[in-house]
A and B are shown apart, each in its own frame.
Chain A
Amino acid sequence: MEFLSYFGGVFEPTAFLLLLGGTIGGLILGATPGLSPTMAVALLIPFTFHLSPTQGLILLGAAYTSTVAGGAVSAILLKIPGAPANIATALDGNAMAKNGEGARALHLSFLSSGIGGVIGVLLLIFLTPVLAKWALAFGPSHLFWMAILGVTVIGSLDSKSFVKGLLSGCIGLWLSMIGFDDNLGAQRFIFTDVLAGGINIIPALIGLFAIPQVLDMFSKGRDSSVIEAIEVPKQRFMDSLREISRSGRALSVGTFFGSIIGLIPGVGGQIAGLVAYDQAKKFSPDKDKFGTGHPEGLIAAESANNAMVGPSLVPLLTLSIPGSPTAAVLLGGLIIHGIFPGSDLFDNHPQVAWTFINSMLIGQILMVIFGIYTATWAARIARAPVPIMAAAVMVLALFGAYSVQSSMNGVYIMLAMGVGMFFLEKFGFSAAPLVLGLILGPIAESNFTTGSLIANAQNGPVEYFMTGTLNIFLITLVIASIAYSFWSNMVQGKAVKKAQGATS
């Protein structure tokens, strides 16, 4: 309960103002396409030069939590996921916004972010010593199996055809191999200089999600009948609150998977949302509604990606090992102030450590309040006339893709992938499994290579990859997941055939 005694620090006037500023600023930065939480936090570090360590950390902590939630805004309203964490949010969230339920989607997304986020931070407060051991337990072989486990959900993720889902995933895996291979120094599939640096995930995300959407808007032409704005029913806060209180299943699935996956260094944040979405779908009686604007998908994805925030800081705060790219940036921010995370932090600077953690807790609540307050207003963006929307998304995509690496290469990759995805989508392929392949490819490969090198120095790859409790547990999950996919695919196939037989 030590943390309670440091709440005072959060409510000092300057600290609270910074917290408020960090939250609101973080929401805006998070909602800007192309600005991942990692970049947003990095951009704020120079501001902390002028602050005391505690104040600086309050700003960074508030910004971290709210940028993750802010990414949902552009995912829902513009179908541009701000970061990999928000991909799953875009699937159902944007469909809801298109049905005129933008305000409802935003309300639910902020509420589930807040709930998931608070639980995540509470885990960080109470279970840090236990969780730290957990985080270290994952070596290269386990991370490899984790990535393979992720690959097994590809077929069932947001795709109506099993084969095409898997094929989309394969395309993603292949695209992830492009560029210099860091482990062995070889060049792979570099047809033009543009690809020499490989495919950065953020421009790819923008292209895959935003550009097909722009082209779809173009395809409607100058037809005034489709342009008429959908009436947006006013969303009352109490209704959203009631709805979220009834969505226990999606919330708990999201929070559970988000916090567990967030803990694993190097995998965490990027896939928490997608895995939770997939699991929520498997546990739900309304599997078919997912992807068509079903609130459960949105709630699972958003609670997962904010629940991930707290646990993802465990390895950083206890062992000084950044578990995610954002944690690495936070580490930089701490070091600049002469504070080294690790046991030293809690022993010698408890004021700094606990005020930081508390500010994330209060930040979550401020974020929900501010998010809900502006939701109705923000939801109007999704109702902008189609030609304005198309032009705006196009320009935002350019700026977003450029700002990641200050490079036109990212922009070209964004456009090429976007136009390709538009045609693929027309034939039943979808962007989500492709992105999952793109994210998991390097994780699987680099851990396989590292693991093999270590295994060769020990007793060979079979023992290294196949023995040990955690390896066997993960392999069992992989087999179970594959079996489930085949089983559900067969059941579905039979159901479809039956339905066809009945109609013909």
Chain B
Amino acid sequence: MKKLIKSLAIGVTAIALSATMSAGASFAADYPDRPIGVAVSYGAGGATDFQARIVTMVAGNEDILGQPIFILNKPGAGGRVGWNWFATEAEADGYTMSAYNIPHFIAQSIKGGVSYSADSFEPIANWGADPAVVVVGKDSQFNTIQEMVEHAKVNPGKVTLSGAGLFVGHHIAALQIEKATGAKFAYIPTKGGGAAAMKAVIAGDVLGGINNLSDAFRAQQAGNVKILGVADIERNKEFLPDVPTLKEAGYDVDNASVNFRGLMVKKGTPQEVIDKLAAKVPEMFAHDRVAKRMKAGGSPMKIMNRAEVQAMWAKRQETLKDLLAGL
């Protein structure tokens, strides 16, 4: 009996060993051999969630990844719950990716209290860029960004601007505008994201607001708001060709507040896996069907490869550190 158990044990160990060895060697070649999850740090139905669902919908095609991608929603605390989970609990095997939102997670990690930083993750590719825009209600006294800034200079702290929360793109944009103009605004973070911030503008609870270009574009189409300026380096030709950038208006505001969305994996993921994903994922984002759906939804796309995203992350880290240092 004892002998039997012993030989069995040896056999099992041998099989297990050979299995792990062969798995190690062929891991990258076979990857992916099962569906891949993408953790989204916001709730189902939010902009990040539905864009993630659209851009990953062709993953199962043989010429892309050959395996479908499913979405895991991990909402809470402005995204902190999902990214904390990804940084501490997810496995670094390439079968769990996460959607990132820049500047949100970098700003949060600079403010502290979370278990991640830009160094905890490896970017794969970027799919979208949603700039922040300045909006006012349709009956507002302000018709240009200059009028608003001048009003704020005369009445410091009296011009209320709603936005989706603290340390998100909207807040960064508000800080940059204050820094560039020297005027003092009252930034009002709303609970309930960009939609609640937009409601505050339309209902007249606040004098103006910072919101996503895509949402503001729709509200403008519906005749509810006026868009005064875009916080980006160049105008958005596709959706808002007539709205000037803040830079054109004479204020030194760059694209640090643009909400970049893309996919990342955890640090420690095998290099072969990262390389394969970095090669295939931009192709997936550029797929015709994806582009068509994104355009229909009014979601601006900006496909960037891994090297470009790495550079962008590093730059944001610098800018945000300076900007948030005084807070």
Contact = CB atoms under 8 A, between A and B. Distances in A.
A and B touch in the complex (CB under 8 A): yes
Interface of A: 38-39, 41-43, 45-46, 49, 136-140, 179-180, 182-185, 187, 193, 196-198, 200, 265-266, 315, 319-322, 325, 328-333, 335-338, 340-344, 405-407, 442, 446, 450, 453-454, 456-458
A456 B186 CA distance: 9
| Chain A interface mostly | helix
B144 interface: no
A337 B296 contact: yes
A458 B186 CA distance: 10
Given A45-B53, A180-B80, A266-B196, A338 B297 contact: yes
Contact of B223 (A39, A179, A342): A342
Given A49-B57, A320-B218, A442-B191, A179 B77 contact: yes
Contacts of A322: 195
Contacts of A333: 45
Contacts of A329: 44-45
Question: Closest 9 A-B residue pairs measured CB to CB?
Answer: A342-B222, A329-B45, A42-B44, A338-B296, A197-B76, A197-B81, A180-B77, A446-B191, A457-B186
Contacts of A266: 192, 196
Given A183-B166, A453-B188, A328 B195 contact: yes
A454 B46 contact: no
Given A320-B218, A406-B74, A457 B159 contact: yes
B293 A336 contact: yes
Contact of A344 (B77, B191, B221): B221
Contact of A454 (B57, B166, B205, B218): B205
A450 B199 CA distance: 13
Interface string B83-115: 011001000000000000000000000010100
Interface residues on B, range: 35 or more
Interface of B: 39, 43-47, 49-50, 53-54, 57, 72-78, 80-81, 84-85, 88, 111, 113, 157-160, 165-167, 186, 188-192, 195-196, 198-200, 202-206, 218-219, 221-224, 293, 296-298
B303 to A, nearest CB: 19
Contacts of B77: 179-180, 182, 196-198
A343 B221 CA distance: 9
B203 A139 contact: yes
Given A136-B202, A200-B76, A332-B46, 17 more contacts: A38-B44, A140-B200, A182-B78, A266-B192, A266-B196, A319-B222, A321-B199, A331-B45, A335-B297, A336-B50, A336-B296, A336-B297, A342-B223, A406-B74, A442-B191, A450-B200, A456-B157
Nearest to B158: A457
A174 to B, nearest CB: 18
B224 A182 contact: no
A342 B198 CA distance: 13
B78 A180 contact: yes
Contacts of A456: 157, 186
6 contacts: A180-B113, A182-B77, A184-B166, A319-B224, A344-B221, A450-B189
A338 B50 CA distance: 13
Contacts of A446: 190-192
A450 B46 CA distance: 22
Contacts of A406: 39, 72-74
Q: Which of A38, A184, A342 has the most CB of B within 10 A?
A: A342
Q: Which of A38, A266, A320, A442 has the most CB of B within 10 A?
A: A320
B44 A136 contact: no
Given A266-B196, A405-B81, A450 B157 contact: no
Contacts of B54: 336
Nearest to B168: A182
A332 B43 CA distance: 12
Contact of B191 (A193, A340, A343, A450): A450
A139 B205 contact: yes
Contacts of A179: 76-77
B167 A196 contact: no
Contact of A46 (B43, B53, B84): B53
A349 to B, nearest CB: 13
B154 to A, nearest CB: 14
Nearest to A184: B166
Contacts of B166: 182-185
Contacts of A344: 221-222
Contacts of A139: 200, 203, 205
A406 B111 CA distance: 27
A319 B202 contact: yes
B43 A198 contact: no
Given A42-B45, A140-B205, A197 B80 contact: yes
A139 B203 CA distance: 8
B190 A450 contact: yes
B10 to A, nearest CB: 36
B157 A457 contact: yes
A315 B113 CA distance: 36
Nearest to B74: A405
Contacts of B224: 319-320, 342
A340 B298 contact: yes
Given A337-B296, A450-B191, A325 B45 contact: yes
B90 to A, nearest CB: 11
Contact of B218 (A138, A185, A342, A407): A342
Contacts of B293: 49, 336
A343 B222 contact: yes
A180 B80 CA distance: 9
A226 B158 CA distance: 68
A194 B196 CA distance: 28
A45 to B, nearest CB: 7
A228 to B, nearest CB: 44
Nearest to B193: A328
B76 A335 contact: no
B43 A325 contact: yes
A39 B44 contact: yes
A83 to B, nearest CB: 14
A407 B188 CA distance: 31
Contacts of B190: 446, 450
B140 to A, nearest CB: 15
Contact of B158 (A137, A330, A458): A458
A332 B113 contact: no
